[in-house]
């Protein structure tokens, strides 16, 4: 049985549907990311789980118990906000101990649990400092320690790394994942950052316009998106309208017969190819030809924009010391049939 379960959970303000009826099952110890653009309903979903927003319909079950109508402070959940919400007049140790005091934990046990948590987040030497004396990454670790020290059944994270710079954000992603593994706490995190979701999550819940578009493991969602939105939001993708009258190994894309190993799909389709699956090739092997209109050097790889009869296409290749093509060059493009994904166009147009 799932540890945390959302059953038909929805939120509506007057005639505006913020979250359509949604179902989600989260296993104990699992790390799940709610991913999507601003306004997609991910934060509202998290706030309903936390108890800050009352659902319009649906139920929330935690370890078999219905907590839909339980007050936020009685749910026992750990919560970390983007702002961290640390008490500026309290030291690191006092901030971490705050939740234990609210629970009536004795002073001796508080000291023991705070000390253990300081060791866990590597802040033992900073127990007496105030939040203003800490870096952004250190404040984030204090916020995590405060949420975890009450030993919550579920940890809720609302864009916890949104205030960090890019380099520190990457470092803290690794630290957060390692910490979650060590503690083993069930975690739900809201993010709009695709790379962050793929780095941290056991499963990604991709949301758009209040609806869940796809739930899957990061690799599966990236390699097998179920529609246009999934393919373009999670990474880059070339997407073209296609048709196939009957099952076969090729589809028609604007008069070009292109390969795909998705043999069962017929009718009006979207043909999806990731930029990194495309390679430059000679005329004889080219599936489509085009001309390089722009290129960008991104450190570990090059990104090319190529004008083709199908439309504009993106292609990437690893940095091997020099680019494979220059702006203005005529090029041939090729990809393997198994690297082209087909999805029904109606499904992509939710």
- Could you give the CA distance from residue 280 to residue 128 in angstroms, rounded to a whole number? 59
298-320 burial: b if 16+ Cβ within 10 Å, else e? eeeebbbbbebebeebbbbbeee
- Could you give the CA distance from residue 337 to residue 75 in angstroms, rounded to a whole number? 50
Tell me the CATH number for domain 236-348. Answer: 2.40.50.140
Tell me the CATH number for domain 4-223. Answer: 3.40.50.300
State pLDDT tens for residues 193-225.
999 999 999 999 999 999 999 999 999 999 999
* Helices H / strands E in the chain, number of each: 9, 20
Give the pLDDT of residue 263. Answer: 72
State pLDDT tens for residues 260-305.
887 777 788 999 999 999 999 987 889 999 999 999 998 889 999 9
**Residue 27, CB-side half-sphere exposure with 13 Å CA sphere:** 5
Domain boundaries defined on the chain: 4-223, 236-348
- Could you give the CA distance from residue 196 to residue 297 in angstroms, rounded to a whole number? 22
Mean residue pLDDT across the chain: 91
**Closest residue by Cα to residue 328 from 294, 303, 280:** 294
CB 323 within 8 A of CB 302: yes
Phi and psi for 73 in degrees, rounded to 5? -75, -5
Phi and psi for 40 in degrees, rounded to 5? -85, -10
For the chain, 350 residues long, give each residue's pLDDT as a single digit of tens.
689 999 999 999 999 999 999 999 999 999 999 999 999 999 999 999 999 999 999 999 999 999 999 999 899 999 998 877 899 999 999 999 998 988 889 999 999 999 999 998 889 999 999 999 998 888 988 999 999 999 999 999 998 887 777 788 888 888 889 889 989 999 999 999 999 999 999 999 999 999 999 999 999 999 999 989 999 999 899 999 998 877 667 888 988 889 888 777 778 899 999 999 999 998 788 999 999 999 999 888 999 999 999 999 999 988 888 778 899 999 999 999 999 999 988 654 44
């Amino acid at each position: 049985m799932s540890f945390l379960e959302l059953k038909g959970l929805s939120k509506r303000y007057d005639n505006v549907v913020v979250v359509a009826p949604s179902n989600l099952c989260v296993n104990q110890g699992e790390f799940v990311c709610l991913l999507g653009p601003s306004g997609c309903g991910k934060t509202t979903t998290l706030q309903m789980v936390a108890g800050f927003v009352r659902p319009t319909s649906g139920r929330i079950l935690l370890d078999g118990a219905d907590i839909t109508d339980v007050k936020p402070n009685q749910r026992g959940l750990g919560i970390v906000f983007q702002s961290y919400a640390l008490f500026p007049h309290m030291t690191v140790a006092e901030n971490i101990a705050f939740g234990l005091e609210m629970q009536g934990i004795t002073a001796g046990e508080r000291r023991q649990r705070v000390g253990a948590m300081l060791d866990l987040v590597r802040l033992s030497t900073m127990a007496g400092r105030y939040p203003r004396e800490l870096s952004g990454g250190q404040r984030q670790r204090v916020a995590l320690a405060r949420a975890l020290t009450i030993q919550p059944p579920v940890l809720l994270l609302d864009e916890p790394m949104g205030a960090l710079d890019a380099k520190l954000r990457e470092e803290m992603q690794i630290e957060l994942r390692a910490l979650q593994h060590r503690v083993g706490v069930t975690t739900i995190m809201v993010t709009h950052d695709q790379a962050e979701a793929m780095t941290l999550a056991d499963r990604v819940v991709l949301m758009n316009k209040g609806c869940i578009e796809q739930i899957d493991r990061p690799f599966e969602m990236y390699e097998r998106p179920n529609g246009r939105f999934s393919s373009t939001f999670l990474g880059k993708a070339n997407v073209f309208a296609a048709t196939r009258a009957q099952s076969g190994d090729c589809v028609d894309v604007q008069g070009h017969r292109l390969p795909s190993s998705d043999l069962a799909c017929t009718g009006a389709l979207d043909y999806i190819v990731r930029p990194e699956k495309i390679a430059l090739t000679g005329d004889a092997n080219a599936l489509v030809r085009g001309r390089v209109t722009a290129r960008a050097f991104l450190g570990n790889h090059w990104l090319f924009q190529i004008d083709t009869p199908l439309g504009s296409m993106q292609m990437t290749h690893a940095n091997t010391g020099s680019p494979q093509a220059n702006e203005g060059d005529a090029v041939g493009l090729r990809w393997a049939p198994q690297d082209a994904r087909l999805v029904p166009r109606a499904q992509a147009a939710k």
